[in-house]
Chain A
Amino acid sequence: MYRVESLIQRRDAEDAELAQRKTSARTLRSLRLGGEKASGSKAPGSIRAKLVEWLLIAAVVLYATGLLLAPLLAIFWGALAEGFGAVVRELTSADAVSSLKLTLIMAVSATAINTVFGLCIAWVLVRDEFWGRRILNGLVDMPFAVSPVIAGFMLILLFGRTGWLTPLTEALGIKVVFALPGILLATIFISLPFVIREVAPVLGQVNLDQEDAALTIGANRLQTFWHVTLPAIRWGLLYGVSLTFARAVGEIGAVLVVSGGVSRLTETSTLFIFRSLDDRNYVGANAMAVVLAGISFVILMVIELLKKRTEQTRTI
């Protein structure tokens, strides 16, 4: 106990000496000394450092609020421009309801498909070693490099009138472009990398001994995956899934190109907003934008929560 106290005393003395040296240095005070340490000292330099610190904080907070928060508040304002009744009327219109339903169905399906295949691909990228791995890795990043409009255009080229795969889909009797399968494919494409990119690093850190142990005591591979690997990667996986879902809900470029935008049939919520803007139905556009922003807000909360969890598991 005594030792600890003397240590603390010595450190205090050192701190004081350091602070003195710093004040005598007659230079601008440190940015970072604005933290706990300097707040104790009453030297004029530290007041100046505090001032600079608060100026910087104010500048950053003002910039971010002006850039992000002000427009967010503006859509609430825009939606409520004609009163609350108008918002309810717009959002309960058949077009709005069916578009929201289609968006959710598409987002959930695309997320489910990308989660299953994403897990497979992440596993192959992390655990497997073969000549084509680098090619696969490069392909995974492509949807990030491709503008959404171009993604939609690719589907038109593949499944459109003269598309490479049109004979096949016609033989099967499926209409892809300007129909639901096209929207689904477009949504899958643009949200493809997220699960893979979030799961791969976590999967790389999973302790293989536990898996081997499970296999040794007689669990089959599926059981091992389900009971050992999946719990270990769950936060990363959920983080990837929520990013995928957020991206899928908000997609416009790719969907706009392939959907054909038939209201109540192939019109997603973002397309509903797009059409409302064209029709100068600003209340409708703003109201639906608020709904989508609300969905994003929930996802954002989930993401923040999961990020903390993944960081915790990563440090462990």
Chain B
Amino acid sequence: MSSVQANLNAPKPVASARVLLPWGRWGLRVTAFLYLGFMVALPLATIIKNGVADGLPAFWEDVTNPTAFAALKLTLTTSIIITIINAVMGTLTAYVLVRFPFPGKGLFNALIDMPFAIPTLVTGVMLVALYGPQRTVGAWLNAHGIQVIFATPGIVLALLVITYPFVIRAVQPVLMEVEKGQEEAAYTLGASKWTTFRRVVLPTIAPALITGSLLCFARALGEFGSIVVVAGNIPGVTLTAPVYVFGQIESQNQRGASAMSILLLALSFTLIVTVEWMQGRNRRSNVSS
């Protein structure tokens, strides 16, 4: 999944393009344009047109009404929280996976990809089955005053599960290539483990760590399947932005739904573009070094 963003900035082999007949090349170009235009560009255009149909003041009103604003705030805070947790735990997991041998490592490595394969709704059902108020663990936590399901901790937990692999899969390959010699040199010179990690390892993995964290954040912003089951969706309390959009669609408020959608879209698109840009930059610096 870390290879999701393709290496498109690399020098392109053009040899085959010259041997392809013009009609074949144009056929493929037109197919690509039509498919992506119809499947992606056209839907995007309608939503943007719909959101700003009544002018910017109406758009602003739609986004800043109390319920919408609370939903947006909840989505942003929970996304920031889980991004920070994932940055720390993801780096640690990647470090342990790359540097330490231990029994069952292959299996553990496969387990990490689970959130990529398992449906997000199933993740939600899983969390309810474990932490739901009628369940053993959930009841115990409830007795100690911690409510997980139908509360904010549930949202955080669901997002943590869904986004766990992103940082790991971004950092892991870079960590594999970090020169062990540098690290050893630092130890030999008397630097502590922590200092070595901070001064030698961290700067090397920083770009990958940031990329992974941004992807994680973008994913968390749009998450729906697991949250709709886990959160309870109480307006103003546990209603996240994507679930808010769903509610507006259900209640036929298309303009309100469009406005929030545009905002979410703009946010995650900016993040994805940043990631692409950063990856392109890293690649260039790797090539030149």
Contact = CB atoms under 8 A, between A and B. Distances in A.
B126 interface: yes
Contacts of A197: 3-6
A121 B161 contact: no
B76 to A, nearest CB: 14
A149 B254 CA distance: 13
10 contacts: A26-B190, A60-B97, A68-B164, A127-B12, A139-B36, A139-B41, A144-B4, A189-B40, A197-B4, A286-B125
Given A147-B221, A154-B44, A124 B29 contact: yes
A163 B42 CA distance: 12
A95 interface: no
B147 to A, nearest CB: 17
Interface string B34-73: 0111011111101100100000000000000000000000
A292 B122 contact: yes
B190 A27 contact: yes
Given A27-B191, A121-B31, A127-B13, 5 more contacts: A141-B5, A156-B249, A189-B39, A249-B119, A252-B120
B258 to A, nearest CB: 8
B15 A292 contact: no
Interface string A176-202: 000000000100110011101110110
B116 A246 contact: yes
B107 to A, nearest CB: 10
Contact of A32 (B5, B31, B183, B189): B183
B115 to A, nearest CB: 7
B117 to A, nearest CB: 4
Contact of A204 (B7, B128, B183, B276): B7
A145 interface: yes
A43 interface: no
A270 interface: yes
A105 interface: no
Given A121-B35, A145-B271, A157-B46, A221 B193 contact: no
Instruction: Sort chain B's interface into a size bin.
Output: 35 or more
A140 interface: yes
Interface in A56-77: 56-57, 59-61, 63-65, 67-72, 74-75, 77
Contact of B184 (A27, A32, A34, A250): A32
A57 B6 contact: no
Interface in B55-109: 89, 92-93, 95-97, 99-102, 108
Contact of A293 (B28, B101, B118, B229): B118
B199 interface: no
B96 A274 contact: no
A250 B119 contact: yes
Contacts of A243: 1, 116
Closest 4 CB pairs of A and B: A250-B119, A147-B222, A154-B43, A71-B126
Interface stretch (A2-10, A83-91, A299-307): A299-307
Given A31-B197, A128-B17, A212-B16, A147 B129 contact: no
A300 B117 contact: yes
Contacts of A204: 6-7, 10, 12-13
A130 B17 CA distance: 11
A150 B222 contact: yes
B44 A142 contact: yes
A21 to B, nearest CB: 6
B245 interface: yes
Contacts of A140: 36, 40
B143 interface: no
Contacts of B41: 139
Interface in A76-124: 77-78, 117, 120-121, 123-124
Contacts of A72: 114, 126
Contacts of A250: 118-122, 225
B89 A27 contact: no
A99 to B, nearest CB: 13
Contact of B31 (A22, A120, A155, A196): A120
A273 interface: yes
A183 B93 CA distance: 37
A47 interface: no
B74 to A, nearest CB: 14
Nearest to B264: A147
Contacts of A150: 47, 222, 242, 245, 261, 264-265
